[in-house]
Structure 1
Amino acid sequence: MRVIWEKEVAAEEIIVSPRPVWKCRSCPAYGKSPSCPPHAPSWREARELVQHYKRALLIKFSINSENFDEEKRKVLNYILKREEELFKGGNFYATALFPGNCNLCEECEFEKSGKCKMPSKVRPPIDAVGIELSKIVELDFSESVLYGLILID
C-alpha cells in the first residue's frame, strides 16, 4: 500500500444520493459487515451530515491487488490513523469513511455472531452512505487503487 496523494475537497462538492447505496445491494458483503448497509447510516443521514462540514480530505492509495485483503487492511488503518491525527489537531468531528466494506479483522466475527470485535474502529464505506465518489475524483478502473475520505470540519 502506498499513498499516492491526499487533497482537500470542499464539502459542497460532495454529492450524496441513493445511487451508490443501490449498487451496494449487489455486493457480496451486503448485510454481512457492520460497516455496510443496512447497518450503515442512510444516504439521507449522510447528506445532512455532509452539509455540516466545510471540507474533506480525499486520499488515493495504490495497492497490490494480488494481496487485496492485506493491502486494504493497511489502507483502513492508515485512514483511521489520519482521522485520529486530525482529531488531535483540533478537528473534533473528523469522520473517516472507508473504501468498501470493513475488513479490519482477518476473520469477521460479525459475520458469524453479529458482534463486532472492533466497533470503535468500524467506519461506513464511502458508497454505502451514498457519496458519489466519481463526482469528486476521476475514476480510472484500470488503476489498482482505493480511495478514503475524511470529513474534516
Structure 2
Amino acid sequence: MEVLWEKEVDASSIVVSPRPVWKCRLCPMYGKRPSCPPYAPDWREAKEWVGSFKKALIVKFSINMKDFEEEKRKVLLWLLKREAELFREGKLYAMALFPGNCNLCDDCPFERGQACRMPEKVRPSVDAVGIELSSLVDIDFSESVLYGVIMVE
C-alpha cells in the first residue's frame, strides 16, 4: 500500500445521493459488516452531516491486488491514523470514511451475529453513506487503487 496523493476539497463539492447506496445492495457484503448499509447512516442524514463540514481530504492509495484484503486493511488503518492526527491538530470532528466494507478483523464476528470487536474503529464506507466518489475524482478502473475520505472541518 502506498499513498499516491492526499487532496483537500471543499465539502460543498461532495455529492451525496442514494445512487451509491443502491450499488451497495449488489455487493456480497451488504448487511454483513457494521460499515455497510443498513448499519451506516442513511444517505439523507449523511447529506446533512457532510453539509456541516467546510473541508474534506480525498486520499488515493495504490494497492497490490494480489493481497487485496491485507492491503485494504493497511488503508483503513492509515485512514484511522490520519483521522487521529487531525484530531490532535484541533480538528475535533475529523472522521474517516472507509473505501468499502470494514475488514479490520480477519474473521468478522459481526457477520455471525456477534458484537464487533472494534466498534471504536469502524467507520462507514464512502458508498454506504451515499458519497458519489466520481464527483471528486476521475475513476480509472484499470488502476489498482482505493480512495478514502476524511471529513475535516
TM more than 0.5: yes
Q: Which residue of 2 aligns with 1:61?
A: 61
Determine whether 1:131 maps to 2:124.
no
Q: Distance in 2 between matches of 1:47 and 1:59?
A: 20
Determine whether 1:2 maps to 2:24.
no
SS at match of 2:60: strand
- Residue 115 of structure 1: how far off its partner (Å): 1.0
Matches within 5 A, 1:57-96: 57-96=57-96
Gaps of 5+ in 2: none
SS at match of 1:75: helix
Q: Distance in 2 between matches of 1:27 and 1:84?
A: 29
Say what the alpha-carbon RMSD is for the aligned residues: 0.5
- Residue 113 of structure 1: how far off its partner (Å): 2.7
SS at match of 1:38: coil
Q: Which residue of 2 aligns with 1:104?
A: 104
Q: Which residue of 2 aligns with 1:52?
A: 52
SS at match of 2:66: helix
Matched residue count: 153
Q: Distance in 1 between matches of 2:23 and 2:50?
A: 20
Gaps of 5+ in 1: none
Q: Distance in 2 between matches of 1:20 and 1:114?
A: 27
- Residue 114 of structure 1: how far off its partner (Å): 3.2
1:45-82 residue CA offsets vs partner (Å, 9 max, x unmatched):
11000110001010000000000000000000000000
Q: Distance in 1 between matches of 2:45 and 2:103?
A: 24
Off by >6 Å, runs of 4+ in structure 1? none
Give the letter aligned to residue 40 of structure 1: A
Give the letter aligned to residue 72 of structure 1: K
SS at match of 1:81: helix
